[in-house]
Amino acid sequence: MVVEADGSLRAEPFVDLSNRVLAGAERGLLGVVFHPDFERNGRLFVHYSRAGDGATVVSELQASADRQTADPTERVLLTHAQPFANHNGGQLAFGPDGYLYLGLGDGGSGGDPFGNGQSTDTLLGKILRLDVDSPSAAGRGYAIPPDNPYAPQGDAPGGGLPEIWAFGLRNPWRFSFDRGTGDLYIGDVGQGSWEEIDRQAASTAGGENYGWNAMEGDHCFQEECDPTRYVPPIAEYSHELGCSVTGGYVYRGLAQLELDGAYVFGDYCSGIVFTLQVDDDGISSKQVLESGLRITAFGEDEQGELYLADLKGGGIYRVLLGD
């Protein structure tokens, strides 16, 4: 659906995919992103659970000439079987480099029974990086950026699936790029004790291993683990404060200048909204709002103002946290 600038809901949907989407549990229409040049090319991408078997589908759609609706005819870029109904991931985002990033969870159940998080032979438990603009993407739907960490070099294989950008993730339920620095922030849902925020610097060459299922947050999940092998989170919180992190955005708007540079995120279970300030003095976290909502996603408009979506009441709220 489309919400107009005045807050009213447009009567007709932008596009209707309900007949091909399996909804329920952690399945459904999980991600939508518009191409950075959408005004010119009308391209958008969706990430959903397929009706019938719950498999992950990532597809490209084309908007109408006036950009007011989209044709439901899809060009499928990627599909992947899901062994369980949870930890499907779902986020889609274009990075500052123009590539399409997407997040997939470890496949579900508990404890990552198939070891997907630490395997570079599966797309599960990963953030992927795809080139959807290269001429070579025309047949397959995407090409592999040549500097992906496991991209083939000449005739030599890359040592892992070439789509992979980062791994060791349980369920990266929302990630975003800081429009000011290009850094990538990831909210990764924990198992039974810890929720974590990971940050990947814009200067990275990719290939970071965030530790799951050896680590949960900054703590060993397995009886024996070596934390020095993994990239630690920049922040974590225990299940005394919630049970499922919903990643947000670094605030770069103009209406709340006191929030400039703060990463704003929340928890689905408790409804708490947090800020995380990362600067030369270190990293500090605050609980700034007990919303009472089931926070499933944050959003950012063209001006950098923030919004959140509530599953409990079905509302979309503007995030105002200033004094």
299, two tokens: 């959003």
18-239 folds as: Neuraminidase (2.120.10)
Residue 172's contacts (CB-CB under 8 Å, 6 or more residues apart) are: 89, 91, 103, 104, 105, 127, 186, 187, 188, 189, 247
pLDDT at 6: 83
What residues form DSSP beta bridges with 263?
250, 276
Q: How much is the average pLDDT of 276-299?
A: 93
241-323 folds as: Thrombin, subunit H (2.40.10)
DSSP letter assigned to residue 118: G
- Alpha carbon 193 to its chain centroid, in Å, reads 21
The size of the chain, in residues, is: 323
pLDDT at residue 156 above 80? no
Q: Please give the helix or strand (H or E) that residue 39 lies within, else none.
A: helix 38-41
Please state, rounded to an integer, the average pLDDT across all residues of the chain.
95
Every domain of the chain and the residues it spans: 18-239, 241-323
pTM: 0.96
What residues form DSSP beta bridges with 273?
266, 289
Neighbours of 2 (CB within 10 A): 13
What residues form DSSP beta bridges with 175?
186
pLDDT tens profile 31-70: 999 999 999 999 999 999 999 999 999 999 999 999 999 9
